[in-house]
Amino acid sequence: MVDGFDSAGPWGELMASPDGLLVTVVLYTYSGVFARMPSSDPVKLQLTVPVLYRLMQGVAVVDDGTTDSSASHHSQFGNLDLALSPQGDAITFSAVLSPQQSRRLIDGDW
């Protein structure tokens, strides 16, 4: 994961280097995926969250510095929530899928 940040150029310098990744999956009537990515650099985490949030929303920054949100309704991350942990030392991700959404993932109909 860290190698990916190293090859990201200037953006990689702004991103927080993860100290690990904890993932939990819960399967019952609904499916839930919860992830926590801790880092020892809380300042970079504070910079990383808004960048990831905008990427998840499908908002692209065009060359003149303005944003293009025309693709925002096509985001593949509609069910994914992203937040900075209350302690400020980790990024948390969570997604809860309905039975129909889970079935689409299993059947490969996406």
Residue 75 placed within a domain: yes
Residue 109 placed within a domain: no
C-alpha separations of 108 from 89, 99, 101, 105 in Å = 35, 14, 11, 5
Entry pTM:
0.65
Residue 99 placed within a domain: no
User: 30, 99 in Cβ contact below 8 A?
Assistant: yes
pLDDT digits (tens, 9 = 90+) for 4-36: 555 666 766 767 778 899 999 998 888 899 999
Residue 108 placed within a domain: no
Q: Is the dihedral of CA 43, 49, 52, 53 positive or negative?
A: negative
pLDDT digits (tens, 9 = 90+) for 33-73: 999 999 988 888 888 888 888 877 765 545 455 555 554 44
Domain of 60 in residue numbering reads as 2-89
Residue 43 placed within a domain: yes
Region of 83 please: left (phi>0), alpha (psi -120 to 50) or beta. Answer: beta
